[in-house]
């Protein structure tokens, strides 16, 4: 019975943790791109994003991480023999990387608050895909365990990463073209009025 409770709250913790991680870096993107706005909008936006980032990190993301880890320890205490299985070692490796990512996001948040972050919006968009890749790998390992078809999985993950990179590049190109189009339209307005 304890196993089911640990498992249920482990899954709930994962959902909360990943929701926070996905949205946190999205806020970082908006925060960085607020630098392109004129004053006073720039300061207002950056202050608001800073508040949202801190609340998300401290009230949602970190508690989600703590529940996930605590319930994982509970799960392992009910089935200690699983610690000998290879799939779990790989899963724990990716969880450790994810924990590092979580704390790195905390560092980035502090750098943004101090106006010391040198990441561009596009670089942050790429960073924002890291937890997606880790989530896919962790879930596949948890579901398939030692029966995970590693060759197909490796190619699927590689393809997913390529697709994400292409999508980020296409989106950057679309944003640039939209901005150029807007600038061209603004430049034509005064000419039509004269």
Query: Residue 117: CA atoms inside 13 Å, Cβ hemisphere, count?
Result: 28
Rounded CA-CA distance 7/78 in Å is 11
Under a CB-based contact definition with an 8 Å cutoff, are residues 113 and 50 in contact? yes
DSSP element (H, E) containing 74: helix 62-78
70 CB-near residues (< 8 Å, 6+ apart) = 13
DSSP state of 37: S
Under a CB-based contact definition with an 8 Å cutoff, are residues 85 and 141 in contact? no
* 181 belongs to an annotated ligand binding site: no
Contacts from 43-47 at CB under 8 Å and sequence distance 24+?
none
* 31 belongs to an annotated ligand binding site: no
Rounded CA-CA distance 37/48 in Å is 14
Which residues fall in the annotated binding site for heme? 10, 91
Which residues fall in the annotated binding site? 10, 91
């Amino acid at each position: 019975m304890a196993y089911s409770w640990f498992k249920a709250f482990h899954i709930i913790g994962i959902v909360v943790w990943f929701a926070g991680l996905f949205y946190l870096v999205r806020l970082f993107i908006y925060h960085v791109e607020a630098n392109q706005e004129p004053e006073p909008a720039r300061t207002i936006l950056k202050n608001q994003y800073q508040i949202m980032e801190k609340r998300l990190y401290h009230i949602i993301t970190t508690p989600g991480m703590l529940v996930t880890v605590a319930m994982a320890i509970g799960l392992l205490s009910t089935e200690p023999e699983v610690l000998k299985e290879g799939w779990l070692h790989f899963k724990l490796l990716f969880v450790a990387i994810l924990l590092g990512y979580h704390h790195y996001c905390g560092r980035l948040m502090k750098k943004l608050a101090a106006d010391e972050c040198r990441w561009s919006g596009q670089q942050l968009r790429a960073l924002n895909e890291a937890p997606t890749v880790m989530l896919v790998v962790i879930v596949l390992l948890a579901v398939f365990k030692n029966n995970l078809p590693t060759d197909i999985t490796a190619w699927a993950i590689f393809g997913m990463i390529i697709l994400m990179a292409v999508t980020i590049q296409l989106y950057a190109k679309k944003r640039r073209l939209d901005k150029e189009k807007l600038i061209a339209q603004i430049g034509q307005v005064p000419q039509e009025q004269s």
